Every structure is written in C-alpha cells, then in structure tokens.
Structure 1
Amino acid sequence: MTHSPARQVVSVVRSQPSQDGDGVKIKRIHDFGGGIDPFLMLDELGSDQPDEYIGGFPPHPHRGIQTLTYVIHGGLTHEDHMGHSSTINAGDAQWMHTGRGIVHSEMPLTDHHGLHAFQLWLSLAAKDKLSEATYRDVRATEMPHLQGEGAKLIALGGKWHAIEPQQDVAGPLDALAGDGGLAHVILEPGGRLLLEQESPMLAVYVFAGELEIGEQRIPAGHLVRLGDGQQLPLSSEAGAQALLLSGTPHQEPIAHYGPFVMNTQDELEQALNDYRSGRLTG
C-alpha cells in the first residue's frame, strides 16, 4: 500500500442562500480571489417547491468562463444563440465554453423529487478568454464509475485514482479549464473510499449527510479546501454525497462583473460594451 501523505483540511466555507435568474433560490459559494482557482463559483439548486425555481434563467450573456451543470433530480433545457437546444435529466451534465461570448437560457424541469442540480463556473486562462464558444452535453451513461467499500465515484471530468481497491477512471469532460476535474461521490452508511489525487487544487463540497475527511466531519452545505499531499480518505457513518473539484490554478488576475470574467478592468469594460452594442457574439 502507498504511504503518501494525506491531504489536510485548510479551510471550510459554508454556502450562502442567494437567488439568480428569474428568482431561482440557490445556495452559493463564490471565490473570485483565487482560493479554488480555476473554479470561481458553485451554485446548488435544490427544492421541491416549484415557485422557488420554475422561473429559470432567461436569456443572458457570458464571456471568459466555462460553466458545468450537473443534474441530480429533475432537468434543465438549454438554448443558445448558436442554435443549440437540448435537455439534460438526472445524472446528465452540460458543459459550456463561453469564450468571447455566448447568450443562452436554462429552463428547469421537474421529476417527483423536484429539482436538484449544480452549476460550477471555471475561469478561462487569459489566452482563451476570447476563443470560440462551444457546448457539449454528457449523458450519465458516458460517465465511468469507481467502486469502493459501500462507496461510488462518478467521474464527470478529470482523472481519479482509488487506492483500495486499485482503480483508475477518467471523466469524459477532458477540456475543463485549468485541467479541471469534477466527480460525484456517494457513500452509503459506513461507506469508505480512499483516493489519491495530486492536483494542486482539490476541494470537496458536501451536499447530503455528513462526510468525514480523515478525522474531520463536514456537514452538508460546506466546501472544504485541501492542502498539499496525495491521499484523500473519505468515509461516512450515516451516508453522504459530495462533489470533488480538482484543477491547476491559473494564478492570473480576475476582473469580474455579473456574467463576465476577464483579467483586467479594461477587458471587462470591453465585454460590457460589446454586449450593449451586440458585438459580444460577433
């Protein structure tokens, strides 16, 4: 067995209630200061009350980021100015590389559990901020799994390695900014999973139950950032679910206003002017 050091918890942040789009209630964690670089933001949409999300996200612009949307229950329908129109349901994901500009909408669908989904923002490197916009759906059947002791990891993007038993998987989303990775971990009561992950940035967002990272217990609604090391021991007495975020920080300045994320204030002003004049997607 490998004896590489375990990654220690260096910070814990609680998600905060917010709303976006047409009054959609969300739990949000945002860090535009580089703490979870290349990630910028994580929104959790979750409710069994349709009036808290049914307004959805009418047409709006983006520049300079990637978005990754993952559905647990319900669904979302995407449309954009490039003519894409598609729907993702439970277990599916959407990836959008906004590049120099995209205008899109996301409208919610429900199942008997209501709606539960996540959207994460990743900052594009400076060299890619004005690249061509593109879009991709990923179905649940395309996502490989790791199996542990009463545990499962679903790989959306990035490479993931389990130590016990030895397993490797790579998620189908292989073009996430900053070598980004995302995985969904499900632990049954008493479940355990020992991972080895050397990405410079590694964070865990717990969204159901209570997760133990080594000796530290993390309740739902909290994001944990981990320090240097390789091993990531996960367990839960009563069961838990979490998202794992990994990546290599860009270590570039960030200028942010609403749906635009650039590197300088001048670039941000240009994005606003381009949107107002209709040149954002030109």
Structure 2
Amino acid sequence: MGSTPFISREVERLVAGVPVSDGAGVKLKRVLTHELQRRLDPFLMLDEFRSDNPDDYLAGFPDHPHRGFETVTYMLAGRMRHRDSTGNEGLLAPGGVQWMTAGRGIVHSELPEQQDGLMHGFQLWVNLPARDKMTAPGYRDIPAADIPVTTRDDGVTVKVIAGVADGTVGAVTREATQPLYLDVGLPAGVRYEAAIPAGHNAFLYVHDGELAVGGRGQKVVAGQMAVLSNANPAASGVALASAGGARVLVVAGRPLNEPIAQWGPFVMNSRNELEQAFDDFRAGRF
C-alpha cells in the first residue's frame, strides 16, 4: 500500500505588518494585531523588530507589567537583557529564546546590550487558558544550543522552538495550547511539508526571501504573514517551496475558545478581571 498523500492547507489571507512604536520608543512591525486574535486563537500578537539604527531600539522596554498570558521572544541578531520582579535575569543572545509565563502578574524589562549593529527578532504572545491565568509567573531562558535543529539531506533546516517537527521534540511543550513554533530555512528549489495538527489555527511569517505556499503556490514575500485556512479537515500541514531560498516562521496552536478581554499588557476573560489586574498592579501585588 502506498503512503497517504500530503494535503496542504492553503493561504486564507495575507497580512502586511503595521509600523508601531512600543516600550520607550522601539520601532516595531506589528504583524498579528488585535483584529486577528479570535481567528488565530490562542495567539494574541506577533511583533518583528529589525533595525541597524540604534535610535530605533536602544531605549528598549523598561519595566512594564503583564498578566494572563505568555511572551515568547526569539532573537536572530543582537542581545537583550531581561530582568523581572521575581528575581530572574538573563541575556538573550542570537538564536536564543525567552519564554516567560506572566501568570498572575510579573513586571519585567527588556533592554538591549549593544550600542550599534543589527537588532532583529520577534515577540509572540500566547494566551493562557482561564484555569492558568493566575498561575505563578515563570521564566525560561533557552540558549540557541538548547533548541533542536534538524538538517535534512536536501538542505532544509528546521529549528524546533516549540512542539514537534519530523519526530523532533522542541525546546518547549504546553498541554493547553500545544504550540508549534518553527523557524524553517529553505534552500532554493526545495519543497518542505510541515505537519500541522488538525484543528490548530496556524500562520506563517516570511522573514527572508520569498515562498510559494500550498497546492496553489500562493506567493508570500518577506514581511508578510499568511493566515492558513482551516477549511479542509483532511489537510495534514502546509507545503512550502522557494525558487530562491527563504526563511519562515511556522506557528500553530490549539484554540482555547474562551472569551478574550485585553487592556494593554493584561489579557483576561472578563472586564472585571481586567479591573482587578489594574488594582493589583497599582497596589504592588505583582
């Protein structure tokens, strides 16, 4: 008997990032915005920061609070120092990931540790289920050497930050949201089929080069996010190909299907919970 044919998800829509300023004036491209939180549940936000102009990033992100979700910072170039109210401190270096669980409340800072050169990376926000929103805050600094990377015979590289890819278990797993977070490098002229669990919401973000996605070969260029369709329940993942080579983030997760109430750095399930978060922060209970 032959193997089951790979059926790819198709691109539902393309999204261009919106330039924004955050922290103490850091210039970012916001790719996953508030309007897509329901569609891409459990993911709340994706920012890309990329500049070799120190004026764009040197001020960094001074002390600021979070409650009710997780932040995932992935560094491609540059260095960022993390400090938080629980006493954690770490230096995020190129290729490394900081996975922080805000839980019931944390105050932290993220400040560049360089005066010039390229600063390039991403921050992804992952929602927590209602039962975990008031869990104890936590922090994990994952250096590049601790993140599994597979290299196939055809030259495709797959960095498995979270989830499982081609039998390789990533650096992080989560029961509730089951996130998949890959950084895939495609050589010119090569096709790669990334498996995505049925029922997961999923998207791609091309950060270098150009891709042809799905059976229709939808063109996706650097700086674009492609929301992947859930329409075909038989789809087993997404097919990626590149004529000239590309790097792309592949992100998927199991939706929580819970109410989302967000007010700045707090993400809860109701307005009352948000008001409580503000009261707790002002009273120094984080």
Provide the secondary structure at the position in 2 that maps to 1:268.
Answer: helix
Distance 1:276 1:177 in 2: 30
> After the TM superposition, which residues 59-98 of structure 1 pair with which residues of structure 2 at under 5 Å, given as runs?
59-98=63-102
**95-104 or 232-241, which moves further after superposition?**
232-241
TM-score where L is the length of structure 2: 0.91
Specify the SS of the correspondent of 2:24: coil
Deviates more, 1:45-54 or 1:234-243: 234-243
1:121 pairs with 2:121? no
Matched, 1:270 2:276: yes
Question: 2:204 — aligned with what?
Answer: 204
Shift of 1:75: 1.2
* Residues 74 and 123, structure 2, Cα contact 8 Å, conserved in 1: yes
- For residues 27-66 of structure 1, the aligned pairs below 5 Å read 27-32=29-34, 33-66=37-70
Aligned match of 1:164: none
Q: Is the 8 A contact 1:25 1:52 kept in 2?
A: yes
Cα 1:211–1:111, aligned 2, differ >3 Å: closer, same or farther? farther
User: Structure 1-normalised TM-score?
Assistant: 0.93
SS of the residue corresponding to residue 251 of structure 2 reads strand
Deviation at 1:221, TM superposition (A): 1.2
Contact between 2:179 and 2:252, CA under 8 Å: does it hold in 1?
yes
Shift of 1:31: 3.9
Deviation at 1:145, TM superposition (A): 2.0
Amino acid at match of 2:22: D
1:179 and 1:198 map into 2 onto residues whose CA distance is: 9
Secondary structure of 1:189's aligned partner: coil
- Indicate conservation of the 8 Å contact 1:76/1:108, yes or no: yes
How far residue 147 of structure 1 moved from its aligned partner, in angstroms, is: 2.5
Residues 205 and 224, structure 1, Cα contact 8 Å, conserved in 2 = yes
- What count of residue pairs does the alignment treat as equivalent? 274
Find the counterpart in structure 2 of residue 189 from structure 1.
188
CA distance in 1, matches of 2:161, 2:43: 15
Asked if the contact 1:64/1:260 (under 8 Å) is kept, the reply is yes
Quote the sequence identity (%).
41
CA contact (8 A) 1:97 1:135 kept: yes
Q: Secondary structure of 1:173's partner?
A: coil
Does structure 1 retain, via aligned residues, the 8 Å contact 2:201–2:253?
A: yes
8 Å Cα contact 2:54/2:116 also seen in 1:
no
| Shift, 1:177, TM fit | 5.3
> Cα deviation per residue 1:239-279 (whole Å; 9 max; x = unaligned)?
11111111100011111111000110111111111111112
Partner SS state of residue 273, structure 1: helix
**Which sections of structure 1, spanning at least 5 residues, go unmatched?**
162-167
Conserved 8 A contact 2:58-2:115: no
Contact 1:157/1:176 (<8 A) preserved? no
Q: Is the 8 A contact 1:122 1:177 kept in 2?
A: no
Q: Secondary structure at the match of 2:177?
A: helix
Preserved CA contact (<8 Å) 2:53 2:116: no
**Deviates most, 52-61 or 220-229:** 220-229
Inter-partner Cα distance in structure 1 for 2:103 and 2:204 = 27
- Equivalent residue, structure 2, for 1:104: 108
Contact 1:62–1:98 (CA under 8 A) maintained in structure 2: yes
Preserved CA contact (<8 Å) 2:32 2:44: yes
Q: Once the two structures are superposed, what CA deviation does each residue of 1:150-190 show, in whole Å capped at 9, x if it has no partner?
A: 321100011113xxxxxx21111113751112110112222
Structure 2 distance, partners of 1:177, 1:78, is 26
Cα deviation, 1:106-126, whole Å, max 9, x if unaligned, reads 001349751001110011101
Cα distance in structure 2, aligned partners of 1:18 and 1:249: 27
Instruction: Note the 1:121-200 alignment, pairs <5 A.
Output: 121-148=125-152, 149-161=154-166, 168-175=167-174, 178-199=177-198, 200=200
- CA spacing shift, 1:175–1:156, aligned 2, 3 Å: same
Q: Secondary structure at the match of 1:150?
A: coil
1:247 to 253, 259, 273: 253
